[in-house]
Structures are given as structure tokens and as C-alpha cells.
Chains A and B, each alone.
Chain A
Amino acid sequence: MVLSEIREGIYDAYSEVTDAVYDTYTYNPPGPIPSIRWGVEKVLSKLPDPKDRVWLDDMSKGAGEVSVFAKTDAAFDRENFVSMFDRHNFSPFDGNIKKGEKKSKILAPFSLYTPTSIWPYQDRDGSRYTVHDFASKDIGIPEVLEMPIKKLMQIDLDIDQDDKSDWGGLPLFNWIADPLMGIGPILLLILIGYIGATLIPMALPIIGGSLLPF
């Protein structure tokens, strides 16, 4: 109760501050004096636009269902992770970010090869959620800040061309996002390995007397 009141208070204060800043920034006083926003945009328009960057997913790689035992069948959108390793020659990359003629690879071993049975990410439409979906997710930068960030940092954060900054546009995202997504499945495997290594030997003697013949 007290916590929720504190949270609401902080949220209200934050909203008041941001609203006040936004109102001041966009306020258009009467007469010839323009708004601050107008002035900033005028200055920024003098700066050159950064080069467009486009996130490209290699459609020949990956599958909706990555199986451990079932055979690969493209018509079922299913691929066995072992045969996938073989097909891609153990390549950890999937797609690239195109900036003019320059291309930088996207590191995506976990999104590509992790079997579905231990993959914890799913999209709202029921499809496998990969680093490509994460990349196209909007950061949620306020509209008024989009242009200043883009111009001053000279970086195009909008990698899916929807006029909004995306997570995939952040520097080094193509190198670190997928390994971060892989932490979940790895932790699960470690946890199960730990349980298996500690609890089973402890439990065996208990079961052994009644069930096991050794």
C-alpha cells in the first residue's frame, strides 16, 4: 500500500517534470519569437543526415521450430539443430546491417541454433522471438528527441524504416544482443546440470534400497 503510493507519487512527479519540459520546449509565444523546438530544428537541419542503416535478416537461415530429435522438414518450418549446424558450417552469423555499401554481420548463434524445447522467447503472434524481432522493437525515445539524437550522434537508430528509433540501431547491438538472449537458456542448462550433479547422487541411495538392484 505504502509502496504503491510512493510509486504513484514518483510517477506523478516525473510526469509533471517531463510535461513541463515538453511544454516549454514546444511553447510558441505570441509575436515573432519562435518556439525553442523551432530553433533547435532550424539548427539541426543544417547538420547532415547520418547514413541510412537497414537491418537485414538472412531468410535462408533459421526455422520456426528448432528440433533436437525430429528430422529437418522445411515444409513444416522445422530444422534439426545438428543438421542446421552442418548446413551453415557452424556459422554464428545471421544477416547483416547495411550502411551504404558497408555491411556488418549480425551475431545470432542462440537465436539460430538453440532448440525450441529450451527457448524461452516467443512473440505475441506465437512465432519464435529472435534477435531480429528484438532489433526492430522501438526504444520509445520521445518524438522530440529523435531528431536531435540522430543528428548530434550521427547515427541512424531507425533500422526498420518506421521512423522510430529501434533497439537494433544502438551501437554494438548486433554483437551483444543475441549472447544476452542466450543467457536465459544457458542458465537453465546450468541449473539442471547442477540439480542433476548434486541431487541425483544424493537421492540414489535413498531410492536404491527399495527400487534399484545395485
Chain B
Amino acid sequence: MAQTMSPYKIDAIIRWQEETEQRTQALKNAEIINGESDEAYIERIEAMPQPRTWLEFAVDPLEDGAPKDPSKDAPGMLDPNDPLNSDSLLLSPGWSDVITGEDFDTVYFYKQSQKGRQGLLTKVSEGIYPSIVHKTAAADYVPSLWNIFQNKDGSRYEGHEVDNFWMRSLFHGTGAVWNLLMFTGIAAIGSYGARKLLENTVIGVIEAADEGIEEIMD
């Protein structure tokens, strides 16, 4: 199943998350200084370090510039010989390292590092599908809660552990059927719930308005 990011990359992700939090917090806490005009305030806010995407961080962690040279055929078209790119994560050999399968210890460490950091939605999605695990075939999407295959040591039996290619494809094909059924089920339940909610809300509003009108008429 899948591939887990290398500890090198996870360490970088955590540094990026910390940077994002600090910058977001700084922007949130910024206030107008006495005598400062609105334009000057906006200008000052825009000049402050802004949160970056994970890729922007990976290209240039120190924000000292990332010169490009497409002829060098390096990741991100970066110039590998330019000293300004020495901080780039993309050019580090550790960037493309991966651990085959979902590595329990690495995922556990990552989940612990995320405690108290995420919103509820992210927490739920990270709990089911940790973003440090690349899902590469259908069975990787089957949540552990519904997984029925297990190794003797208690770890999850993953697709890549099936030796025969065709059996592995069958394993993932079964996962694909499950995914489609799960998606269809969620969509059906969701639309039923949404319909009920809409129905109740609309009827409630109409009934309230109706009662109000009746009272006025009486």
C-alpha cells in the first residue's frame, strides 16, 4: 500500500506548518498604529511575511531567491549550481526518498506532531488519510476501520505485499469496488440527509410564517 514520506520530508513539513502558523498569527494580531492611515496599514500588512504553500516553502525555505535554469533538467527547473538554491528541499536527495507502504511509526509520529494544530475537518481527514502517505492504488483508499486484511504482527496487509502482479491488481480492484460503493453510499445518505434538512427547514419557515399571518388575521 502506498508510500510514506521520508522522515526528512516530514521534518520539513512540520517546519513549514510552524512557519505558516507564526505568519498567520502575526497577520491576525496586526493592528493599526496610532496615526497610521488605512493605506499605510494595508501596505504594512502586505509587506509582512505571508503564509506560503508547501511547494513554495519546499522550493525556497529561506526565501533568499530560487534561480531557475531549465537546461539543467533539475526538479522545479532550479539551477542546482547556484548557491542560493542550496537550501531548496527539491534538490536534496532526501526529497524523493520514500518508505514503501504505510509506515506505522512515521505516521504515528506525524499524527502526534499535529495534535492541537488542526481544525476539526483536517483532523478527521488526517486521521483517515494522513497526508504524508501517498495513495497510489485503489485499496489504499479503504480506511483502516473497514480493512479486513492483517499481517500476523498486527500491521495492515497492504497491496504491495502481494507478490503476484495479477493478484495484486485483483486486491486493488476489490478496493476500487469498495471505494465506488462507499462513495455511492455516502452520496446517497448525504443527499437523503440534505433533502430532509431542506424539507424540514422550508416547511418550518412556511409554517412559522403561516402561523404568524393567521395570528395577525385573528
CB within 8 Å of B: which residues of A? Answer: 64-65, 73-78, 116-129, 184-185, 188-189, 191-192, 196, 200, 212-213
Contacts and interface: CB of A to CB of B under 8 A. Distances in A.
Tell me the interface secondary structure of chain A in the complex: mixed
Closest 5 CB pairs of A and B: A122-B137, A120-B172, A120-B173, A128-B136, A75-B55
| Chain B CB within 10 Å, residue with most, of A74, A122, A123, A129 | A122
A121 B169 CA distance: 5
Given A73-B55, A74-B55, A126-B100, A117 B134 contact: no
A190 B134 CA distance: 27
Contacts of A122: 136-137, 159-160, 168-169, 172
A209 B71 CA distance: 68
Nearest to B76: A74
Interface in B122-165: 131, 134-138, 140-141, 158-160
Contacts of B135: 65, 116-117
Interface of B: 1-3, 53-55, 57-58, 98, 100-101, 131, 134-138, 140-141, 158-160, 168-170, 172-173, 175-177, 179-181, 183-184, 188, 192, 196
A200 B134 CA distance: 33
Contacts of A118: 138, 176, 179-180
Tell me the interface secondary structure of chain B in the complex: helix
A65 B2 CA distance: 9
Contacts of A191: 177
Nearest to A193: B180
B176 A124 contact: no
Given A119-B136, A123-B160, A128-B136, 19 more contacts: A76-B54, A76-B134, A117-B138, A119-B138, A120-B173, A121-B168, A121-B172, A125-B98, A126-B3, A126-B98, A128-B137, A129-B137, A184-B169, A188-B173, A192-B180, A192-B181, A192-B184, A200-B188, A213-B196
